[in-house]
Amino acid sequence: MAANASAQPARSSHPPQTMPHTGRQPFAWLGRLLLRLLLIIQALIVVYPLVWNVLASLKTNEEVMENPWTLPKHFNWSNYVNAFTTARIGDYMLNSVLVVAMSMVILLAAALPTAYALGRMNFRGKTLTTNVYMAGLFIGGVYIIVPLFILMNNLHMLDNRFWLSAVYATGSLPFSVYLMIGFMKSIPKDFEEAALIDGCGYTSTLFRIILPITRPAIVTLIVFGFFDFWNEYVLALTLITSDEKKTIPIGLSNLMQIQQYATDWGSLFAGLVIVLIPTIIIYALLQKRLTDGMMMGGVKG
């Protein structure tokens, strides 16, 4: 294999990248055209519903009813005003921001020290603890929602945004711990030894030495956490009962129920756009982190 690899540059004087596709087959350009066509059609299938949604959010009700393929005659911003005033999207959004922030704090406070202990220290019960988290990867969501609801009812934790956040954080904990243990293990041992000799305690070693090194992984955790918490539906539907504490996915699905009778499509579409905006911004900023992180966590399982 090694001999083969070293012989390669001599063999191909033109760029090796293009070799398999050009020259040999006269119809290669036709193949590329067809491939491009296939990809463009798929891209349209992904993008068009979103474009349509934005257009519909700027139409009047009559225009929405008329023909889904036309452009709005003039931009009808009142849908957005309605979304904030009558549909109270702003309040739902504020709840979501609050819940996402609290969930993130709880998640990081629990996951980072846990991963440090499991990834870099030795103690009795370490394997058992690790296994608890690994088993936790497979259990969640709708399966355990009934006993969770009953437990939280008995402990008076229902209809409380803090406890909802705690449940969210717990849901993401096994994956986060799993991801961080891998990172923690990759840091050389000398770091702590040097720190301990310099008189750093355990806590300051963790916070001043280790956590700064793992910052890329922490950013990945935060990105994943954001999407999980911002989009979560089932738990929020079950654990929050009063309208003024509901998060945005619940607010939107309520809005949809109402619109079916009131037929004010415009403000529903405006609501959807308002929810999409933070997602799109974060995706645009952190897209690479996200897909890289996914490969890191998902493939090397």
Partner 1 sequence: MSMKAKRSWFLLFCLLPGLVLMALFKIHPTIEVFQKSFYLWTGIGDKPQWVGLRNFTDLFHDDVFLLSLRNTGFLMLVVPVITLFIALVNASILTRSKLRERSLYRTVFFFPSILSFVVIAILWSFIYHPTIGFLNAGLESIGLGKWALAWLGDARTVLWALAVTMIWQAAGYYMVMYMAGIDGISPELYEAASIDGATPVRQFFHITVPMLWEIIRITIIFSINGVLTISFVIVSIMTAGGPDRHSEVVMTYLYSQAFANSNFGYAMAVGVFVFIVSFLLALLSNRLTERGNN
Give the shortest CB-268-to-partner 1 separation in angstroms.
Answer: 7
Taking CB under 8 A as the criterion, the residue among 33, 109, 262, 285 binding partner 1 is 109
Taking CB under 8 A as the criterion, the residue among 87, 88, 100, 133 binding partner 1 is 133
Taking CB under 8 A as the criterion, the residue among 3, 10, 45, 277 binding partner 1 is 45
By the rule CB under 8 A, 134 interacts with partner 1: no
Instruction: With contacts defined by CB under 8 A, name the span among 77-85, 180-188, 212-220, 292-300 that binds partner 1.
Output: 292-300
By the rule CB under 8 A, 158 interacts with partner 1: no
Largest CA distance in the chain: 76
d(CA 256, CA 262): 10
Give the SS3 label for residue 186. coil
Give the shortest CB-74-to-partner 1 separation in angstroms.
Answer: 20
Using CB under 8 A as the binding rule, the residues of this chain from 160 to 189 that contact partner 1 are 166-167, 169-171, 173-174, 177
Give the shortest CB-81-to-partner 1 separation in angstroms.
Answer: 20
Using CB under 8 A as the binding rule, the residues of this chain from 47 to 66 that contact partner 1 are 47, 49-50, 52-53, 56, 64-65
Instruction: With contacts defined by CB under 8 A, name the span among 71-79, 86-94, 142-150, 183-191 that binds partner 1.
Output: 142-150
d(CA 301, CA 298): 6
264 close to 76: Cβ distance less than 8 angstroms: no
Give the shortest CB-161-to-partner 1 separation in angstroms.
Answer: 15
Buried b or exposed e, range 140-171, using 16+ CB within 10 angstroms: beeeebeebeeebeeeebbeebebbbbbbbbb
Give the up-direction half-sphere exposure of residue 258: CA atoms within 13 A in the CB hemisphere.
14
Using CB under 8 A as the binding rule, the residues of this chain from 255 to 274 that contact partner 1 are 256, 265, 268, 272
In the complex with partner 1, which residue's Cβ is closer, 51 or 81? 51
Give the shortest CB-254-to-partner 1 separation in angstroms.
Answer: 10
d(CA 175, CA 173): 6
Give the shortest CB-188-to-partner 1 separation in angstroms.
Answer: 20
Number of residues that bind partner 1 (CB under 8 A): 97
Using CB under 8 A as the binding rule, the residues of this chain from 68 to 97 that contact partner 1 are 68-69
d(CA 80, CA 51): 16
Decide: residue 109, CB within 10 A, 0-12 exposed, 13-18 middle, 19+ buried. exposed
Give the shortest CB-31-to-partner 1 separation in angstroms.
Answer: 8
Give the shortest CB-21-to-partner 1 separation in angstroms.
Answer: 7
d(CA 248, CA 82): 16
Taking CB under 8 A as the criterion, the residue among 200, 219, 222, 276 binding partner 1 is 276
By the rule CB under 8 A, 30 interacts with partner 1: no
Q: Which of 245, 269, 246, 243 is nearest to 256 (CA)?
A: 269
Cβ neighbours of 103 (radius 10 Å):
27
Q: What are phi and psi of 241, to 5 degrees?
A: -110, -35
Cβ neighbours of 187 (radius 10 Å):
16
Taking CB under 8 A as the criterion, the residue among 95, 114, 214, 267 binding partner 1 is 114
Q: Which of 286, 108, 122, 240 is nearest to 180 (CA)?
A: 108
By the rule CB under 8 A, 137 interacts with partner 1: no
